[in-house]
Amino acid sequence: MTHENARVIGHAVRGGGCLPAQSKVLEGEWQGRVLVGQLTVCLLGPSCPPHVALPLLAFAGPEDGTLTAYVRPQSGCSATGVGLGGLVVFYPESSDGASSPAVPTAPGPRLKRNPEAAKAALDRGDQLMKEKKWIAAVAEFERSIALNDQNWTAQLSLATAQLMRNHPEEAISALDRARDLSKGEPLIYYHLACAYSRLGQLPRAMDNLERAVGLGLAINPEPEDEGLKKLGSDITYNVKYVQLMQRAANNVTAPNAKASAGRRQYPVP
């Protein structure tokens, strides 16, 4: 990569696939700690072009010198050399002048486990959530998970950010992983209820809301999640919904109520 003030240009070190050696594959501009630009990748798929320049939002990792990005090719196409979920990681040059692989190898995106760096990324995501910078927060939470995939609160935080962006499918994916790590956390089921409500899957939404309250969910139902409004206004579920939300509100002031370990300091849906 070459740098011209705040601008960055990257070239392929070796040829391969659809791109010849020394072709320009990365171009962007630094905005603080974020690189905004585009990344050219090779595509696979019956009706896909051989290569495409995709929008890039990459984040510098001060702990390890990496540059982490997430790219999304068009529907029906897959990008070669890109990790699961669209993860691309650029590593700093090693002491012998060689660069580490730009992308983690199969089975999926994994950086070297680093709980301290994972917590730092999680904290940055928390701050971005307070600033309502949902997309940037998603990137930090995904980075935190790549550095420590056993932290269920990072998965819950990622799901919250995806719900704020109104991406319920992505939120459910993160919540399923969080539930595998912490089956007794009520906020996971509450967020699942929000996500399934937004998708119109009201029976699943009600099942998860009932599970959340049964596990001791303690929340003030105002402001109400946009998705849950569908559940609350449906004639089939209205009475039960009101009863459950009242129980959750009562739990807030219950003498033996305990704050959820996963509750973050930014808005929840």
pLDDT tens, 239-257? 999 999 889 888 877 665 5
Burial 35-70 (b: 16+ CB within 10 A, else e): bebebbbbbeeeebeebbebebbbbbbeeeebbbbb
pLDDT at 184: 92
Over 60: is that where the pLDDT of 26 sits? yes
Nearest to 179 by CA among 167, 193, 163, 166: 193
Q: How many helices (H) does the chain have, and how many strands (E)?
A: 8, 8
pLDDT at 8: 82
Alpha helices in 131-264 (DSSP H): 134-147, 152-164, 168-181, 186-198, 202-214, 226-233, 238-252
Is-contact 199 191, C-beta < 8 A? no
Q: Give the Cβ contact number of residue 257 at 10 Å.
A: 12
Higher pLDDT residue, 235 or 55? 235
pLDDT at 182: 92
Contacts of 154 (CB under 8 A, 6+ apart): 118, 122, 125, 141, 144, 145, 148
* Residues forming beta bridges with residue 69, ordered by sequence position: 58, 88
- Spacing of C-alpha 51 from chain mean position: 26
The 10s digit of each residue's pLDDT in 139-176 is: 888 888 888 888 999 999 999 999 998 889 989 999 99
Burial 112-128 (b: 16+ CB within 10 A, else e): eebeebbebbbebbbeb
pLDDT at 96: 46
What is the model's pTM? Answer: 0.63
Q: Give the least confident one: 105-119, 209-223, 226-240.
A: 105-119
